[in-house]
Each structure stands twice: as C-alpha cells, then as structure tokens.
Structure 1
Amino acid sequence: MNKIVSVFVALIFVALCFKSADAQQSEDLGTLSLEQCITIAQDRSPVANAARYALIASKWQYRSFRADLLPSLSLSGDAPNYNKNIFSNILDNGQVTFSSRTQSEASASVSISQSILPTGGTLSLSSGLTRLGVFRGENTYLWQSTPLVVGLRQPIFQFNNLKWRNRLEPLQYEIAQKEFVEDMEGIALTVTQNFFNAYLAKINLQNAEFNVARNDSIYNISQGRYNLGNIAENDLLQSELALRNAEAELTRARIEYERSLNDFKILLGYPTDVQLELNPPDDLPEVQVNIEKAKQLAIENNSEALNYRLNEIQADQNLALAKSEGGFNADLIANYGLNQTSEEFADLYQNPENRQFITLGFDIPLFNWGKQQAQVNAARNQQREVANSIQFQRRQFDQRVQYIVSQFLQLRDQALLAAQSDTIAQRRYDVAQNRYLIGRIDITNLFIAQNEKDSARQGYIRALRDYWTGWYELRQLTLYNFLEDRPITYDL
C-alpha cells in the first residue's frame, strides 16, 4: 500500500514538474528581432486593435451611406385600430343628438423609394389595402385599395444634402483607410523607438557591469602599486572613486533597464513577467529615395493631405447651405395612381379609378433684418479662411516631407561612422588598458579611454535608433515601402 502511495505521489510530482516547465516555456519569448517585435505589436497590442475597430466603424458607416443611394423597401400598417366612442350630431332642425359609433380600421401598405442623387428628390412606388369595419346592428365591412401609386417629392432651389454626402463620404472612408495604415506604421515607429531605448539600457547595464569588474581590478592593482610606492595616494583615491562611481552607475543602469524593458513588454501586449531578449538589426539597407517622388506619394497617400481636401469641400458645403437657406425654396409633391373601394374583396381590384395629387409648397423670406446675408457672408469668409490656411499648411507639409527625406538619406552614413567610432574607441581602450598595466600611462588617461569607449558604444546604438526611426517615419509619411518599391497595405 505504501508503495502504491509513493508511486502516486511521484506521478503527481512529475506532472507538476511538466506543468511548471510548460508554464515557464510559455513565459519565455526568447530573443526577438526588431521586425518580429513590430509584427507582434501590430497583431496584438491594444493600440493596433483600437485602430482596427476605428477602420471597421468607418467601413460600416460608409456602407450605410451607400445603402442610402439604393432603393429601399418598407412595409407599414395599422391593426386593429379599434374605436368605440360617442359623438354629437346636429340635425336639420338644429337639434343636437348623441350617437355611438363602433368601428375598426386596418391598413397595410408596401412601398419602394429611390433617392435621386443629382436633384435630391425621392421617387416612390407604393401599393396599399385598407379595411373599415362598422359595428352597428349588422356588421358592415368596406374595403379600399390603391393597387399602384407613383410618387415624387422634389425640393426646388434647396440644399442637396445627398449630393454633398456623395462627395464627402467616400473621401472620409479613404481617409480612414489611410489613417489605419498610418496607425500601423505609427506602431512600428513607436516599437522601434522603445526597442532601441530598451537595448540601449541593456548596453548601459553591460558597460556598467564591465566597468565595475575592470575598476575593481584597477583598484586592486593601484593598491599594490601604492604599497610599493610606485604611485601617489591621489592616484589610489582616484581609482577607488572610479570604482564607487561605477558601482553606483551599475545600480542605476539595472533600474533603468528593468523599467525600459517592462515598458517595452507592455507595448507589445505582454505582461512584465515574461522573459525577453532583444537582437538589434545588424545590416543597414541602403535606400534610394527621390524627394519629389516622396512629396507626390505623401500628397496622394497621407491622411493629412487628404484632410486638406476634405476641409475645402466642407467649407464649400457650408457656403452652399447658407445660400440655399436665404433664398426661394419649394417642395414639389406629386402622386399619381389607382384606387378603388368595394364591400366585397373580390371586386376590390375591378375597374380602379385614377388618383392624382399634386402640391407645391414654397417658402420665400421677405425680411429678416439681414440675418441670411450675414450667414452667407460668414460662410464665404470661412471658406476663404480655410483656403488660405490649407495653402499655408500644404507648404509646411511639403517642407516637412523634404526635411524628413533629406535627413533620412544622411542617417545611414552617420550610423556607419558611429560603428567605426565604436570600433576605434574599443581598440583604444584595449591599448590604454595594456599600457596602464605596464605602467606606460597614468590612471587618468585610462579612465578617459574608458568613458570614450562607453560614449562611442552609446552613440552607435543611438545612430541605429535614428536610422530605423527615420525609416519608419518616412514610411508613415508616404505610406510607401521604398526598399521594395510598393505601397504599404495592411489587412484587418
């Protein structure tokens, strides 16, 4: 029995070990490249999901507008509409009597309507049926039918809202599509910045750990030399101070690395307890970008440039609305169809009679103390304001595109120079360290070489960060991949 219990406990222990190993494995992301981090953030980060939902909402809004341009079918009616009441009745001799009435009325109609885009009117076809029941003594039922009615409602000299929506809605949907791609590229830009911030913090931590180890060795060597009388006490104190400063810097570097790495994990959509290592890109692709082509692509693709056009159309719309409200406007309503009444349903559609209806309603403002003219003048000047503001903003936009492209074309050379400086500074430190060990240079020159080594390494990482952030900033601005020579697209 004890053996069975022991075996059972051992099996449970093994299962728990496997489960623990699986959990540990699920919390280890391994070593990720910059491109992998960008893909993860674009797939699962809350910012990316919010951008997708925004585009989906714009997509359905645009579909709603497109549905307004198509025929619509509707069914309406009343049933049973029962009514029992007492009403007054004046006889021919002037006497007033009261009578009771009990009746019901049920009706149903089906109609098809179609908006007329160029004129803003509405064309409709309808068919209806009504049954009236009178309950007094012997119940009586009357039927009325309208087999077909053709109707037209046409505003005259009025603001055509549908026509303006037809100009605005497709452009707004296009802007939403561009903004989605920009948001995805914005995520890539943000990930790139935070990726190199975390990696730079890691490099600073490695430098701090290296400096503590080397400065500890230098301090021990300095103690031996001081005991032998080969160096002054000032040099010994300087080496000890450098060691203490390195230890303090190591503490700060650890805190900063943990903070920046945790921020980066959250950006990717992971909890902070996952294991993650970063592997920066080694190659720097040489990308040829034509400034004029970049300007044209930015004008065609960037949502900011499309918003300029949207603002112009909206200003024109406001002016057209102000003008239409200030002048003559009318509504033409016309109906033509067939109708018939009968006590028998079988005879309801026999020999229907014509039914015509036409009305023209109009509204002419005669005097309103100049209010309407003031509204038109306000809208006209707002239109001019928008035109001038957009002209200035477009010039600024062109200048920004030119600056970003010109700056990016120099970033690769700067990164290559920073890599050379990093290599030279590392070699110089190695030489200075060897010369210090044989007593050819003093400790001050060694620490200078050490600081220059750390600065050169940091400068190289910053140059890499500037290059890749410049690359994704250029992509976000133009929505174009110049490396692959194709537009940038994303699927929902």
Structure 2
Amino acid sequence: MKRIWILCLIYIIGMCDNGYADDVETRTVSLSLTDAIRLAQLQSVDAAVALNELKTAYWEYRTHKAEQLPEIIFTGTLPSYSKQYSKYQQSDGSYTYVQNNVLGLNGEISIEQNIALTGGKIALNTSLDFTRQLGKSAYNEFMSVPVSLTLTQPIFGVNDQKWKRRIEPVRYEEAKAAFMESVETVTITTITHYFNLLLAEDNLAVCKQNLENANKLYEIAIAKRKIGHISEIELMQLKQSALQAKAKVTEAQSNLNSMMFQLRSFLGLSERDRIEPVLPEVITGVRLDYQQVLARAQENNSFSKNILRRQLEADYDVATAKGNQRSINLFASVGYTGKDLSFSGAYNPLKDNQVVQVGVSIPILDWGKRKGKVKVAESNREVVLSKIRQEQMDFNQNIFLLVENFNNQAAQLEIASEVDSLAESRYKTSIETFMVGKIDILELNDAQTSKDSAKQKHIEELYYYWRYFYNIRSLTLYDFLNNCTLDAEFEKIVR
C-alpha cells in the first residue's frame, strides 16, 4: 500500500511537470491501465467504502481484545438528599410516619477481569457510604467495604471467552482478506470502465475514418456517374452511406463522452481532465495451473476464513445449548465491612464484620426446553455444513473455469488480432477494387462492416484477457507476475 501511495504521488507530479495543469479549461491525461488502477484504489468511492468496512472490523477486533484486560469501573452518587416522611413499623406492630432528613454520598470502585481459562469473572471491589443526619441532632456516619472479592463461575457450562478467542481472530482475518478482495474488485471495475472508453475512442476513430472514406468515394462516384461508369442507384447508395457515416460519428462522439465521464467519475478526476487511454499489452508466457491457483485461493481468500468462522460459530451454538442443559452457576463473595461515626473507624479491620457468600443456580425441571434447544442447534449446524460443502464445490468450479478461460484467452486474443489485420487489409483492397469498378457497393459495405467488427472484437478479447487475469488475482490475493502474496500494512491503513 505504501508503494501505491508513492507511485500515485510520482504520477501526479509527472502530470504537473508535463504541463497538464497549464490548460485551465481542459487538460489531457495520458493514462495507462496500471495508472488508472492505482488512482481507483486510492480515490474511488468503492475503495473508501472498503476501507471503512475494514476499520469497522478492526475496532470490533480491538474491542474483543480489550475484553480480555482488566476493567476499572467507578459508580457513585454525589450527593443524595432526602427530606420526607417514611412509613415505620413500631414494636407493637402498628405503623407510623417519621420524618427523614438526610444527606448521603456513596461511591464504589471495582476492578473486573474475565477469566479466559474457565469462562468466569472475578471482581475486586471497595466502597464507601457516607450519611449525614440533618436536623437538631445532626451527626455523621460512615459505612465501608474496604475490600471485597467476588467470583462468578459457570460450572459445566460453555466457556464463552474460550470460543470468542477462537472465533474473533478468524473473523478479523476474514475482514482483512475481504478488504484486499474489495480493492481488487475496484481494479476489475476500473478495467471495465477503461476498456469501455478504449472501445468508444476506437469506435469514434473508425467512424471518422469511415466518414472520410465515404465522402471520398462519393466524390469519385459523382465523377464516374458523369461518364456513365456507375448507375444512379449506386450513386445514391454511396451518398446514403456518407450520410449514415456522418450520423455514426455524432453517435460515437456522444458515447465517448459518456464513457469518459464514467471513468473520470470513478477515478475521482476533474471534469476538466480529458483521459487518453493507452491500449495495454498482453502478458507473454503466463500460463496458470489450476491446482496452484486453487491452493492460493484456499490459503488467502476470505471464503476459506468465512467457512472456518461459520463452522466455529455453529459448533459454538451447539456447545452453548449443551452447556445450558446442565449449567450450574456458582457465585462466591468474600470481604470486610465496617460502620462507624468516623471515617477511620469505618475502615478498622479488627472489627468482626467479615462477609462470605456462596450461591448456586441449578436448573431442575424445564420440560425438555434445553434439550430442544440442543436439537435445534445441532440441526442448524448440519444445515451450515451442507451449505458450506455446496459453496466449496461452486468456489472450486469457479476457480477452474477462470483458469481455463484465462489460459484459452491468449489464443483467442491472437486470433482476434490476426482477423483484425486481415479485415483491415481486405477493406483497403476493397476500396481500391471498387474505385476501378471490379466490385459493387454491397461488397464494399460488407468489407467495411467486417473491418469495424474485427477491430472491436480485438479490443473486447483484450478486455476479457485482463478481466480474467484480475478475477483470478482477486480470488487468490496473489500476484502471479511477481510471485508474491498481495498484502497491506493494515495497522497503518485503519489509523
């Protein structure tokens, strides 16, 4: 990622040095496919969305890690004042109302720590309660809990902390792989927009050339008609072809403007920028092996992490249901407490005011409710595993088809290039032959149509070549040109 930033900076500086910014109205930017991909990965809205999703996953993982650390909590009431009548039961059983006029302050500090080994929680607490009785016989009173240790521990139940420590790292690795795949998806979208502009630009050039040829042929046809070498119908056909060629130029120009706007908008460039795409070259000598590609995909793709996470979550749900079936919750607390009219007296540890509590919560009869939840969780796990098996087969098949298409596309591209050259030569020969009167206008139009189609087909085959290549790269997160895994400095990216 750092290298991409540097390359983008060099590219922008190069634009300024070459004088692209001198023209205030319009500046022409010669943009290769590689440059367009780098700009899209840095400036496109899709890249920004992918980055925000990564940040969300990062902070969720940070929250999980923070749950393993001690948490310090302060709670308090500062202050509490009450002046009112309260119901009071006397020794003879009758009730009366007494006036209560009191000012109170209380605070508690607790340090809580999850126990990853057992799934319980331990807490260390200290608290102080101050009461000032107001009125004629005003006095102060303090009550303290100098130290209290509390343990909450499920017995036979599921250890949530253990399962989270297994699931959350996998979830974060899945998010990182998904981010890299989103960046590669931006690349594929860039390729589509880039080749759409290439096709539109080439189509406009072809239409302009056809218009020029049609006008020349029409002028020649006028002279030939005067000497009777062609018929009036053929002359009208040539004039019609010239008008149609002119209309196609206007249509092609509008299409070019539309494709230019789409690519410019996706790359985040200004409306003053006029992009000149450069026809990319083919990678020579690259042939991919299915087993190697599949191994890279299973190693790096978010799909493999997604499968592992879903299996763990399904197992966790079953373990939770089984744990709840026979769960016993243990609660234990031990500490000191003190009460005195003075602050120091309330903290006197010599007084016999120890507190010990032990409690349990044991399910006895639930009429099969917990057993039913176990069966539901186990059924859901089987559904998840069945879906995973099907998705794995589809994933492998998709990899196989992409590798086959890429390996075959080089041959398709070579054929399209040869057909393009032949169609261009045929059209030039057809013009010369038509001018000497050896072919008619229908054969000339057929040669022109074949030439235009072959040119577009050549660019389309080149587009499929690069699309297949980057589709495989996005699935494997592996650069087969440089033989290295695609990676990024995630800690720096999210900050």
The answer to whether the superposition gives a TM-score over 0.5 is yes
Aligned pairs for 1:350-389 (under 5 A) are 350-352=348-350, 353=352, 355-368=354-367, 370-389=368-387
SS at match of 2:79: coil
Query: Quick one: distance in 2 between partners of 1:477 and 1:91?
Result: 80
Residue 482 (structure 2) aligns with? 484
CA, structure 1 residues 449+99, in 2 after alignment: closer, same or farther (shift >3 Å)? closer
The residue that corresponds to 1:9 in the other structure is none
**1:204-250 Cα deviation digits (max 9, x unpaired):** 11111110110111122122222212233443333233223322322
Report whether the alignment pairs 1:436 with 2:445: no
Q: Which residue of 2 aligns with 1:334?
A: 332
Contact 2:409 2:461 in 1 (8 A): yes
Over 3 Å counting, the alpha-carbon distance change for 1:434 and 1:89 in structure 2 is: closer
- 1:317-346 CA distances to partner (integer Å, 9 max, x unpaired)? 222333334x23332111122333332333
Residue matched to 2:108: 109
Does 2:312 correspond to 1:307? no
Equivalent in the alignment of 2:54: 55
Q: What's the secondary structure of 1:79's corresponding residue? A: strand
SS of corresponding position for 2:234: helix
For structure 2, the 5+ residue unaligned runs are 1-19
Query: What amino acid maps onto 2:153 in structure 1?
Result: Q
Aligned counterpart, 2:416: 418
After superposition, residues 77-476 of structure 1 pair within 5 angstroms as 77-92=76-91, 97-325=96-324, 327-352=325-350, 353=352, 355-368=354-367, 370-476=368-474
Show the counterpart of 1:15.
none
- SS in structure 2 of the partner of residue 287 of structure 1: coil
Q: Deviations over 1:251-294 (max 9, x none)?
A: 32222222222122121123545322211213434324221121
- Tell me the CA shift for residue 477 of structure 1: 0.9
Distance 1:160 1:35 in 2: 50
The alpha-carbon deviation at position 195 of structure 1 amounts to 0.6
Q: CA offset at residue 380 of structure 1?
A: 1.4
For 1:351-387, what per-residue CA distance to the aligned partner results, in whole angstroms no more than 9, with x for missing partners? Answer: 344623223232425243x444333222212211111
For 1:144, the aligned partner's letter is: M
Q: Using a 3 Å threshold, how does the CA distance of structure 1 residues 141 and 394 change in structure 2: closer, same or farther?
A: same
Gap change, CA 1:238 and 1:355, over 3 Å in 2: same
Cα pair 1:288 1:482 within 8 Å, conserved? no
After superposition, the C-alpha distances for 1:369-408 in whole angstroms (9 at most, x for unaligned) are: x444333222212211111121111011111111111211
Q: CA 1:192–1:354 in structure 2 vs 1: closer, same or farther (change >3 Å)?
A: same
- With 87-96 and 32-41 compared, the bigger mean Cα shift is at 87-96
**How many Å separate the matches in 1 of 2:246 and 2:234?**
19
Of stretches 239-248 and 83-92 in structure 1, the one that deviates more from structure 2 is 83-92
In 1, distance between residues paired with 2:94 and 2:206?
Answer: 113
User: Where does residue 6 of structure 1 map in the other structure?
Assistant: none
Q: Provide the residue aligned with 1:5 in structure 2.
A: none
> Aligned letter for 1:437?
M
Q: 1:338–1:354: 8 Å Cα contact kept in structure 2?
A: yes
- Separation of aligned partners in 1, 2:366 and 2:388: 36
Q: Which range moved further: 306-315 or 432-441?
A: 432-441
Tell me, in whole angstroms, the C-alpha distance in 2 between the residues paired with 1:94 and 1:263: 87
Closer/same/farther in 2, CA of residues 41 and 93 from structure 1, 3 Å limit:
closer
- Change beyond 3 A, Cα 1:387–1:89: closer
Question: Tell me, what secondary structure is at the counterpart of 1:80?
Answer: strand
- The answer as to whether partners of 2:30 and 2:276 remain within 8 angstroms in 1 is yes
SS of residue matched to 2:108: strand
Compared CA separation, residues 119 and 398, structure 1 to 2 (3 A)? same
CA distance in 1, matches of 2:223, 2:26: 48
Secondary structure of the corresponding residue to residue 337 of structure 2: strand
How high is the sequence identity, in percent, across the aligned residues? 28
Residues 332 and 358 in structure 1, CA contact (< 8 A), matched pair in contact too: no
Provide the rounded CA distance (Å) in 2 between the counterparts of 1:450 and 1:198.
Answer: 22
Separation in structure 2 between the aligned mates of residue 479 and residue 341 of structure 1, nearest angstrom? 67
1:96 offset after TM fit, Å? 5.3
CA distance in 2, matches of 1:26, 1:241: 37
Answer yes or no: is the 8 Å Cα contact 1:159–1:324 preserved in 2: yes
Q: When the two structures are superposed, what TM-score results if normalisation uses the length of structure 1?
A: 0.88
- Kindly provide the amino acid, as one letter, of the partner of residue 435 in structure 1: T
The SS at the match of 2:487 is coil
CA distance 1:266–1:95, change in 2 (3 Å): closer
Show the counterpart of 2:66.
67
Counterpart residue type for residue 413 of structure 1: A
Between the aligned partners of 1:248 and 1:229, the Cα distance in structure 2 is 29
* Distance in 1 separating the partners of 2:330 and 2:448: 89
> Which residue is equivalent to 1:34?
33
Taking structure 1 as reference, are residues 254 and 330 closer, same or farther at Cα in structure 2, changes over 3 Å only? same
Greater alpha carbon shift after TM alignment, 99-108 vs 395-404:
99-108
> 2:208 touches 2:249 (CA, 8 Å); kept in 1?
yes
Q: Does the 8 Å contact 1:330/1:360 carry over to 2?
A: no
- Tell me, what secondary structure is at the counterpart of 1:147? strand
| Aligned equivalents of 2:90, 2:199: Cα separation in 1 | 102
CA RMSD of aligned residues (A): 2.4
Q: In 2 relative to 1, CA 489–26 (structure 1 residues): closer, same or farther, beyond 3 Å?
A: farther
Consecutive unaligned residues of structure 1, counting only runs of 5 or more, are 1-20
